[in-house]
């Protein structure tokens, strides 16, 4: 299902960020012990939780630019939870919100082709995250005209340092620019603004700009998050020579479980919308 008139994923992103006046990516990562929705099965709880939150967004007329469910958090619940994942994707898209399926897939050519089909046709996502480790022929089968991919360029976890050396990150960045058909972006961790600037600089130095998906952004008034406040991140990109409004900042548990800071479990939907409002304000 194609919801947008634009002809590339990057153009869709630009329109969305302009239309909703924020670059927020909302991570839809269900953790059952933190979901206070009153419903029968675990699957029902997850569905109700993210539907209630969407309803609250619509009531307040505030929407994230994009959402990003991480497949792992559905896969680990049950086979039925994968059906709920598909329903959540369809429901958010119906309200005009594009969906990144965070799945970090990648395999030999024909197998990546199968993963591409799963992400875009079975689950109906607009974009998918892809691991570069197996190289060009593992990434290219994901390329489509209006579906996006985000390649794992520099991740925000501690262990990333093991293999994502400056040299390797540059080699991957160079390949990403080769692969780019107007719909290729990169996942770049937000824990060090300096490194973010360096990576953006490497790309802008070649007169290119690709959409960054930046995880781990923190929200004012919400404890936790992997560090990196939104303004610092946006400044780091700009210092790296990036000029376009195509980059998104992700928050998953900071938004989903914002109710924890207030302690009122039943008000999870309004706590999430409050946190989204604060996050948006912290960027502007």
**Interacting residues with a copy of itself (CB under 8 A):** 29, 70, 72-73, 75-79, 82-83, 86, 104-109, 111-112, 114-115, 117-118, 121-122, 131-139, 152, 155-164, 168, 171-172, 175
- Residue 176 to residues 46, 59, 91, 132, 186, Cα–Cα distance (Å): 35, 39, 31, 9, 8
CB-nearer residue toward a copy of itself: 152 or 276 = 152
CB neighbour list of residue 62: distance below 8 Å, 6 or more residues apart: 20, 273, 276, 277, 280
Least Cβ distance, residue 111 to a copy of itself (angstroms): 5
Least Cβ distance, residue 41 to a copy of itself (angstroms): 15
133/7 Cα distance (integer angstroms): 28
**Active-site residue (options: 59, 104, 110, 231):** 104
Whether the CB-CB separation of 87 and 49 falls below 8 Å is answered with no
CB-nearer residue toward a copy of itself: 131 or 201 = 131
Least Cβ distance, residue 17 to a copy of itself (angstroms): 25
Q: How many CB atoms lie within 10 A of CB 137?
A: 12
2 is an active site residue: no
Per the structure block, which two tokens stand in for 142? 């994901």
CB-nearer residue toward a copy of itself: 164 or 270 = 164
Least Cβ distance, residue 134 to a copy of itself (angstroms): 5
Least Cβ distance, residue 58 to a copy of itself (angstroms): 27
CB-nearer residue toward a copy of itself: 22 or 71 = 71
User: What pairs with residue 149 in β-bridges?
Assistant: 128, 184
What is the full DSSP assignment across 52-121?
HHHHHHHHHT---SEEE-BTHHHHTT-HHHHHHHHHHHHHHHHTT--BEEEEEE--SHHHHHHHHHIIII
CB-nearer residue toward a copy of itself: 147 or 156 = 156
Residue 173 in 3-state DSSP? helix
Supply the residues annotated as catalytic.
104
């Amino acid at each position: 299902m194609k919801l947008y008139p634009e002809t590339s994923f990057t153009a869709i992103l630009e329109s969305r960020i302009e239309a909703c006046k924020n670059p927020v990516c909302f991570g839809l990562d269900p953790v059952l012990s933190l979901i206070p929705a009153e419903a029968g099965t675990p699957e029902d709880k997850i569905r109700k939780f993210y539907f209630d939150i969407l309803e609250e967004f619509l009531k307040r007329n505030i929407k994230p630019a994009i959402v990003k469910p991480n497949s792992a958090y559905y896969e680990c619940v049950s086979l039925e939870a994968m059906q709920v994942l598909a329903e959540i994707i369809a429901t958010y898209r119906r309200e005009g919100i594009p969906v990144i399926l965070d799945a970090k897939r990648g395999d030999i050519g024909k197998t990546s082709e199968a993963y591409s089909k799963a992400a875009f046709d079975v689950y109906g996502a607009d974009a998918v995250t892809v691991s570069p480790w197996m190289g060009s022929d593992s990434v290219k089968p994901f390329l489509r005209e209006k579906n996006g991919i985000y390649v794992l360029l520099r991740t925000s976890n501690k262990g990333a340092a093991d293999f994502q050396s400056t040299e390797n990150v540059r080699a991957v960045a160079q390949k990403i620019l080769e692969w780019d058909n107007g719909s290729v972006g990169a996942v770049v961790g937000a824990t060090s603004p300096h490194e973010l600037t360096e990576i953006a600089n490497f790309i802008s130095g070649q007169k290119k700009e690709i959409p960054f998906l930046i995880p781990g952004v923190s929200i004012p008034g919400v404890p936790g998050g992997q560090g990196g406040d939104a303004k610092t991140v946006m400044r780091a990109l700009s210092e790296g020579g990036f000029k376009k409004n195509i980059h998104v900042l992700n928050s998953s548990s900071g938004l989903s479980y914002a109710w924890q800071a207030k302690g009122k479990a039943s008000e999870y939907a309004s706590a999430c919308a409050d946190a989204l409002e604060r996050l948006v304000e912290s960027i502007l």
